[in-house]
Amino acid sequence: MGALLVWVLRKWMPITAARGWLLSIFPLMSLGLLGRAWWLVEDKYLSWSWAWVPAANLNISFYYDALSALFGLMVAGIGVLILIYGGYYFADDKDANRFFAYLLLFMGMMLGVVVAGDLITMFLFWEGTSITSFLLVAYKYKYESARKGAFKALFITGGGGIALLAGSLFLGHIAGGYDFKTIFSQAEVIQQHELYWVVLGLIAFGAFTKSAQVPAHIWLPAAMSAPTPASAYLHSATMVKAGIYLLARLNPALGGTESWFWLLSTVGLVTMVTGAYWGIQQDDLKGLLAYSTISQLGVLTFLIGQETEIAFKALVIGVIAHALFKSALFMCAGIIDHETGTRLLSRLGGLRQSMPITFVVVVMAGLSLAGSPPMFGFLAKETLLATAVHPTLSTATSWLFVLAIVVAAAFKLVQAGLVIVDVFMGEPRDKGVKGHEAPWGMVMAPLLPALASMGVGLLPNTAIVATFFGKAAEAAYGDKVKVSLALWTGINIPLLLSMGAITAGLILFSQRSWLIKREERWSFNRVYDGVLGGMDRLAFWATRTQTGYLRHYLAVMMVAMWVLVLLLWRFDWPTLAPFELFDDTRLEFDLIRLVSLVTIVAAAVTTIVLKRDFGAILALGAVGLSVAVYMAVEPAPDVALVQIVVDLLATVILVLALDRLPREQRRAAQTLQSQISWLRAGIATGGGLLVAGMSYMALSTRPRVSLVTPYYEQSAKALTGASDIVGAVIVDFRALDTLIEITVFSLAGIGVFTLFRWAARKHGDHEAAVANRMEPSLAALMQFSIGERPVSAYLQAVVTMVLPVALVIGGIHMLYGHEQPGDGFTAGVIISLAIGLWYVVFGFRETRRRLWWLRPHGFISLGVLLVIVTGLISMGVEGYFLASVDFGKMIGLPLPEGMKFSSGFLFEVAIASAVVGGVSLILDTLGRPAALAVQIHRAAQAEFDEAEKMDSQ
């Protein structure tokens, strides 16, 4: 709602820091609602579900428990601060309303992820975070780095999203449902299933890409091209935590196995150490913080892989601790960049005097990053170290885990030292860099989470917070978890390891001159570049087949069909059963079938043999009409009727299209036609034989007893009041399909209109340009169209009468579509056919002058809107969209027998309107004279007039 409001009111939003305060109301309301919901839920959960596609067991559902509350409150709480901070950051940017709309939409998508009640709902919001983060990262789209960073993030996380969808479908199939309650109840079944490894790999891959685990971590530093408010939000509380939330949410169902343990532990530890090391190699302050985030995400992934209570205590503490200090550090990095004009460590230094408040905030947040007491980060590191000594592992493996965690912790202390010391201490490395303190509101935003990082462990009453953390850890662990927030628990192994990590970190920081290389000799970015380069090369070779010639495409498709059949065919061809050519009881129909088949073959051959285009078009029309005759004697009257009218309309459209084809192209096509090679003939013959054989096999081996037909026969009259089953299927049983089909049909007409007009204008083929290039006498003749040749009055009279007759026939089809063959589509094609005859006989301008009421776009809009409005009204009556409702019966409207004023009738009218609109656009586009054709025709007409004048003299 907030994003929509910002977008609508973007021109009236204040271009001041007040924007942030105003927009923070939306996440603040979410924060209050989520907090109130948790207060009501306590140790239970809230759930809500709405049947989306009941037949496929798909629902839109939400599930809210302590784990959802933990992440949801974090998303909303940090979101409030980010919006306030963003108001100051973009105080003078009049275009920033677009950014705020993206940010609020991103916030809504992340909240949707953490409160989703089933895998499909979560996936929809999951992909929403990918799209909205793309918009945020690419906000400064004029910069190449922003475009590349956004694409890299979308490419990697989008690939993970596809894997997640596949894994979700497998998991839902195994569990018997997609909702989390069902999945949790089937944990044992899932883990013992033969597809468990597949599910685990796909879902883990989706989570790893979203949460920047090695080797998918490379998108996160590239996303630093986003404005700092987006970076702070993305890194601390939102998108990168989505993968962590997914793994934690599914741990009760997928966790506890050896596969789960080793996969998450290995990937988490590698990511943790990689991010910690590469963070200290960065010169960009935001780049350093980005790698620090990668390291912490590795920590959280590692913790979810453990099956101990202490690990999930460390998980919830680590999630919140990281959100607090990382949001503060990122916002401070933005302040430094905003006030000094640079983020490079090699240029900064000595800012303590000019930016004292920012310095205090960075010190508090940096100490939490380093895991130093008394900060919240120290408690997170302590609990992490307590999980490293795993009770079921060998001593060597357990201490290898401990060593990795200690090394990463030491590197993080170096990172914190670089942020604090190299930025604020000493003398400026670049004398031209001057800093000053930011506005109070801008500093307040990072100050609050920094104070929270220090205050959580020092507050006297932390029982409520500890209880809340315990419930969240319990939801992820699947069993009771006790959480204590006491900083001092005595001298123990975790404390000694923590002191060792701090000592090692201080030593490394003092010797950082040899540790920091800042030269990236190799990284997974080269793999990413290689993958994209390989795709580009494959695309290059694939596009070599895109020659622009239809005959080449047909040849490739036919050869590919034979290759696929030869490689993949696993069935025997059915034997040709003996059959009788004629049945004495239906001799006349068998003769008609035979004649129609012979005509089809002869007409098809004729289309190749004839040299003139017009003759070939007529032969092609004969093929379609012969097919209609065959269908009529099957009997399939509905199909035959549609085939007839569509075939006639196609013939009219092809005739009109001849005027749009340059004569040179038509001559070249005729020349090519006369040079048909044996190779092309062989490919065409082989393709035809293959399709014929496969069709015969499909018809002879398919089940002869239909399961659908009896249902339609029994239900058409009872449920829809329709005697014509085909009509009931189109506008009642499969109404949504028909809505999509008429929309596609309309878009096809709009596409023809747009492409032809764009191409014509590009090449100067429009009336204004032609008139400027022509002689005045010839330009004056432009008021006539190319199609306006002398036509007999008798033909004009016939064509004039055809249109009202077609309108009457079309109206009958719509009125009685449920009682007899014929429907709205047939009605629309019949009316369009009459309009097409007008274009052929009267020409473009005369048709437009006489049929002034013909507005194609209006007909299309009327058709689509009428379907939607009718569907919504019927939903209000019956409870579902596009329900079958007899409005005439409801209001007692007296109508003739067989005629109904129902939702089906309105649907038929809408179909006819959309078809007339789409076809009229095509006719209008093809019937419009081309500039060259006008000049040729007018020149020929002038010669004819001159010859007549001479003859008369």
CA-only gyration radius of the chain, Å: 36
pLDDT confidence band for 668 (50 / 70 / 90): low
Tell me if 712 sits within 8 A of 728, measured CB to CB. yes
Tell me which of 163-177, 497-511, 658-672, 938-952 is least confident: 938-952
Q: How many CB atoms lie within 10 A of CB 906?
A: 22
Q: Which pLDDT score is estimated for 582?
A: 53
Two tokens, residue 768: 């204004």
In the chain, the amino acid numbered 290 is A
Is the distance from CB of 301 to CB of 275 less than 8 angstroms? no
Per the CB < 8 A criterion, the answer to whether 48 and 103 are in contact is no
Q: How high is the pLDDT of residue 245?
A: 92
- Sorting pLDDT into bands at 50, 70 and 90, what band is 267? very high
pLDDT of the residue at 786: 39
In terms of average pLDDT, the best of 86-100, 291-305, 889-903 is 291-305
The neighbour count for residue 728, using CB atoms within 10 Å, is: 24
d(CA 807, CA 322): 71
**Residue in this structure with the two tokens 């789960």, named with its chain if needed:** 260
CA distance 607 to 615: 8
In this predicted structure, the answer to whether residue 15 has a pLDDT above a threshold of 80 is no
| Residue 305 amino acid letter | G
Residues 609-633, mean pLDDT to the nearest whole number:
84
Average pLDDT of the chain to the nearest whole number: 80
Vertex 298 angle, CA 486 and 308, to 5°:
50
Could you read off the pLDDT of 732-767 as tens digits, one per residue? 888 888 888 888 888 888 888 887 777 666 655 554
**Is the confidence at residue 211, as pLDDT, over 60?**
yes
- pLDDT given for residue 775 in this prediction: 40
Cβ-proximal residues to 377 (8 Å cutoff; 6+ apart), any chain = 321, 325, 367, 368, 369, 370, 371, 453
Is the confidence at residue 606, as pLDDT, over 70?
yes
Q: Determine the pLDDT at residue 7.
A: 61
Alpha-carbon gap, residue 113 to 719, rounded angstroms: 40
Report which DSSP code applies to 699: H
Dig out the tokens for 635 from the structure. Answer: 């009997």
Average pLDDT over residues 22-47: 79
- 127 or 240, which is more confident: 127
Question: If you average pLDDT over each of 399-413, 579-593, 672-686, 760-774, which comes out highest?
Answer: 399-413
Higher pLDDT, 26 or 700: 26
Q: What is the pLDDT at residue 520? A: 59
What 3-state DSSP class applies to 732?
helix
Helix (H) or strand (E) holding 48: strand 46-53
Band (204; pLDDT cuts 50, 70, 90): very high
pLDDT at 516 over 90: no
Give Dmax (Cα) for the chain: 125
Residue among 77, 5, 113 nearest 233 (CA):
77
- What digits encode the pLDDT tens for the residues 826-869? 888 888 888 888 887 887 778 888 888 888 888 999 988 998 88
Which has more pLDDT, 759 or 728?
728
Distance CA 152, CA 255 (A): 30
Tokens read off for 249: 């949410």
Hey, CA dihedral for 684, 688, 694, 697, is it positive or negative?
Answer: negative
* pLDDT recorded at residue 246: 92
Closest CA to 451 of 522, 364, 327, 384: 364
Q: What is the pLDDT of residues 530-552, one digit of tens each?
A: 888 888 888 888 777 777 777 78
Q: By C-alpha distance, which of 311, 276, 327, 281 is closest to 297?
A: 276
First to last CA, the chain: 81
Q: How many helices (H) and strands (E) does the chain have?
A: 42, 2
Residue found under tokens 């990382």: 326
Task: Write out the two tokens for 876.
Answer: 């209000």
Distance separating alpha carbons of residues 609 and 623, to the nearest angstrom: 14
CA atoms within 13 A on the CB side of 698: 6
CA distance 708 to 449: 62
CB 860 within 8 A of CB 916: no
Q: How far apart are alpha carbons 287 and 275 in whole angstroms? A: 11
CA-angle at 486, arms to 484 and 488, nearest 5° = 135
Q: Which long-range contacts (CB under 8 A, 24 or more apart) does 597-605 make?
A: 597/626, 597/630, 599/626, 599/629, 600/626, 600/627, 600/630
Question: What is the model's pLDDT at position 946?
Answer: 59
Answer for the pair 54, 43: CB distance below 8 angstroms, yes or no.
no
Phi, psi angle pair for 868, to nearest 5°: -65, -45
**Are 620 and 609 spatial neighbours (Cβ–Cβ below 8 Å)?**
no
Region 160-171: mean pLDDT is: 91
State residue 784's pLDDT score: 38
| Residue 787: band (very low, low, confident or very high) from pLDDT cuts 50, 70, 90 | very low
Instruction: Tell me the mean pLDDT in the region 611-638.
Output: 83
The CB-side HSE value for 733 (13 A sphere, CA atoms) comes to 21
Question: Is the pLDDT higher at 866 or at 524?
Answer: 866
pLDDT band at 208 (very low <50, low <70, confident <90, very high): very high
Lowest-pLDDT choice from 580-589, 678-687, 865-874, 893-902: 580-589
Instruction: Classify 884 as helix, strand or coil.
Output: coil
Which pLDDT score, from 0 to 100, does residue 762 have?
60
Q: What is the pLDDT of residue 783?
A: 39
Among 314, 476, 306, CA closest to 392: 306
Residue 782: what pLDDT? 37
pLDDT at 3: 62
Q: Which residue has the higher pLDDT, 731 or 702?
A: 731
What digits encode the pLDDT tens for the residues 108-133?
899 999 999 889 999 999 999 999 98
> What is the per-residue pLDDT for 247?
92
- Which stretches of 841-904 are assigned E, i.e. beta strand? none
Confidence at 774, pLDDT banded by 50, 70, 90 = very low
The predicted structure's pLDDT at residue 370: 85
- Model confidence at 165, pLDDT cuts 50, 70, 90, reads very high
pLDDT at residue 777, as a whole number: 38
- Provide CB contacts within 8 A for 947, sequence distance 6+: none
CA distances, 466 to each of 377, 418, 461, 500, 803 (Å): 16, 33, 10, 27, 80
The Cα 874–Cα 642 span in angstroms is 28
- Token pair listed for 410: 């030491």
